Amino acid sequence: MKINIIKCKTALSKSNLPGLEYSLNPYRGCQHNCCYCYVPNVLRIERKNWGSFVDVKKNIPVVLSNELKNKKQGIVGISTVTDPYQPIEDKYKLTKYCLEQLIIHDFPVNIQTKSDLVTRDINIISKFNDIEVMFSIGTINDSERKILEPFSSPIQKRLEAMKKISDTGIKTSVFFGPIYPTIKKKDLTDIINTFVEFGAKEIMVDKFNLKPGILDVLEKKIPENINTIKNTYFFKEIYEEINLICSKEKINVVSAF
């Protein structure tokens, strides 16, 4: 893993994602190396190089501090093209320092991560007037997680982190996606109940984003499931079942596809 210390010229970018006005990405690249990640396509990075480097935007807290003085308030997504709590955050703490700046200017925040490291910053997160912490979970089977997300936090650790944060009164949610192709309709009630048990107040559902090159990687990793991944009806059917379960349990559910 090559770590590059760089300087950035801007911190906040306009976001086109639903519910977000801005995106904040303290790092470029991601150590989690999820093989279905579409970010290399977005940033025009060769897929073979993804997961082999991280650019550390060392000056981003200072740049952010200056930008916030002149920005109209809006929800800041942390992060949209990296994981803000990937392992390197433990050393450089750029996400933490950026959160401290966002508190000063009272900006609402949405954190999305696959890492239990986020619990380190509970004392900061709890000071926000408007914040949500969303945990990305595509399966509750950790053996499957290891195949497609080899360097992300184990599923149980994510669930425990969500519970810890939720217990402090902070809104927590699950980004249930991409939904793994091995998930069965009959198991969805137990999966949703697990999310709720560990603190999820809302569930966002997504399928695989099959940008160029991703299907080739998945075909090598899980060839036996490739037809299911390509079957849009499978994901539609799964979402409809999730929606039915969540309606009965009065849990808010949103589709990202």
Report the CATH number that the domain containing residue 46 is assigned in CATH.
3.20.20.70
- State the amino acid at position 145 in one-letter form: R
Most distant CA pair in the chain, distance: 52
Domain that includes residue 111, residue range: 2-255
pLDDT tens, position by position, 92-119: 999 999 999 999 999 999 999 999 999 9
Q: Is the link from the previous residue into 178 a cis peptide, with omega within 30 of 0?
A: yes
pLDDT at 158: 99
Closest by Cα among 117, 127, 71, 75 to 94: 117
pTM, whole model, 2 decimals?
0.96
Task: Identify the CA nearest to 149 among candidates 160, 137, 157, 161.
Answer: 137
Strand 12-14 versus strand 22-24 pairing type: antiparallel
Rounded to whole angstroms, the Cα distance separating 119 from 91 reads 15
Q: Which residue has the tokens 């402090």?
A: 168
Report d(CA 167, CA 198) in Å as an integer: 9
* Low pLDDT (below 70) residues in the chain: none
Whose CA is closest to 168, among 135, 194, 141, 199? Answer: 199
Total structural domains within the chain: 1
Distance CA(225)–CA(30), nearest Å, equals 25
Per-residue model confidence as pLDDT tens digits over 159-168: 999 999 999 9
Distance CA 173, CA 165 (A): 11
pLDDT for position 19 = 92
Sign of CA dihedral 115, 84, 90, 163: negative
pLDDT, residue 48, reads 87
H or E stretch including 86?
none
Q: Which of 75, 86, 68, 74 is nearest to 26 (CA)?
A: 86
Closest by CA to 231, choosing from 256, 208, 212, is 208
C-alpha dihedral (97, 69, 39, 41), degrees to nearest 10: -150
DSSP state of 199: T
* 92 phi-psi bin (left φ>0, alpha ψ -120 to 50, beta other): alpha
Q: How far apart are CA 201 and CA 138, in angstroms?
A: 17
Element (H, E) at 31: none
What pLDDT does residue 71 have? 97
Q: How many other β-carbons are positioned within 10 Å of the β-carbon of residue 215?
A: 14
